[in-house]
Amino acid sequence: MLDRQDVIPLYSQLEGIIKNDILSGKYKDGDRIPSESQFMLEYSITRTTIRKAIENLVNQGLLEKIHGKGVFVRLREVKYNMWNFCGFSDYIKRRGEKPVTNVISSEVVTIKDEEFFKLIRARGVKKGEDTEYLTIDTSIIPMSLFKDIHTINFNNNSLYSIMKREYKITPKTAKLTIKAIESNDFTRNYFGDENVYLSAIGEVIDDNGVIVEKVNVIYNSKIEFNMVTDIG
């Protein structure tokens, strides 16, 4: 249900509900989701709000609109999808798989007289006895905003949950540059023998535009980056 008192905008709430219904299997690949008018009746909100939620999910590559027919779930790919920039564990769980997070290193570093917490994690899914690693995440976090964050064990705790729950800081937007990189010791160790990978480098900002994390994610080639762009 939607909560009009919540600080989270209605379209974001609806977006979460639809996303959840897709990932939980309520709407399967190829299914038509309810029409805009059905959503209007169900949630008592206007088309504009519904359309904004759907628009965002289309941009994330989860939905596809067909004029005159409806909005359809598009999860054609067997591969993991990179749109899920955060909420890694939830995403994996909803695929019916077991998420694994492995802290590779966790230390306090000083850059230009400022202290940062540097966290490197390998993340993946359990495949029987083995683990298939999907990303290697390097996070650089200002200690000035997150006092004592280095004392937390991130094998069992989500970074963004901690930020929200313990520090009342909500990561909101990621600005990323996508690059192609060659394999190195890390990737060989965690991803196996492929030679090239995608990597996203950038920063994550909160509601106030403050940089809460500098991030570098290396993606296993099993993860796809799909995008839709207008021409013209």
Task: Give the footprint of a copy of itself on this chain (CB under 8 A).
Answer: 12, 15-16, 48, 56, 59-60, 66-67, 83, 85-87, 160, 170-182, 195-198, 204, 209, 221, 224-232
Please list every residue from 35 through 74 that binds DNA, using CB under 7 A.
35-38, 44-49, 51-52, 65-71
Q: Which does 49 bind (CB under 5 to 8 A by kind): DNA, a copy of itself, none?
A: DNA
Question: Which amino acid, 101?
Answer: T
The distance of Cα 112 from the centroid of its chain, to the nearest Å, equals 30
Q: Which does 171 bind (CB under 5 to 8 A by kind): a copy of itself, DNA, none?
A: a copy of itself
CA 43 – CA 6 distance, rounded (Å): 15
Closest CA to 213 of 152, 169, 178: 169
Q: Rounded to the nearest whole angstrom, what is the least distance from the CB of residue 231 to DNA in the complex?
A: 13
CA 18 – CA 58 distance, rounded (Å): 11
CA 45 – CA 38 distance, rounded (Å): 10
Q: Rounded to the nearest whole angstrom, what is the least distance from the CB of residue 208 to a copy of itself in the complex?
A: 9
CA 147 – CA 154 distance, rounded (Å): 15
CA 151 – CA 129 distance, rounded (Å): 30
Question: Which amino acid, 210?
Answer: V
Pattern 190-209, DNA, x by CB under 7 A: -----------------xxx
Q: Which does 37 bind (CB under 5 to 8 A by kind): a copy of itself, DNA, none?
A: DNA
Q: Which does 76 bind (CB under 5 to 8 A by kind): DNA, a copy of itself, none?
A: none
CA 206 – CA 174 distance, rounded (Å): 9
> Max alpha carbon distance in the chain (Å)?
59
Q: Is 168 in the site for DNA (CB under 7 A)?
A: no
Q: Rounded to the nearest whole angstrom, what is the least distance from the CB of residue 129 to a copy of itself in the complex?
A: 29
Q: Rounded to the nearest whole angstrom, what is the least distance from the CB of residue 171 to a copy of itself in the complex?
A: 5
By beta-carbon proximity to DNA, the closer residue of 45 and 212 is: 45
CA 9 – CA 49 distance, rounded (Å): 9
| Positions in the binding site for DNA (CB under 7 A) | 9-12, 35-38, 44-49, 51-52, 65-71, 207-209
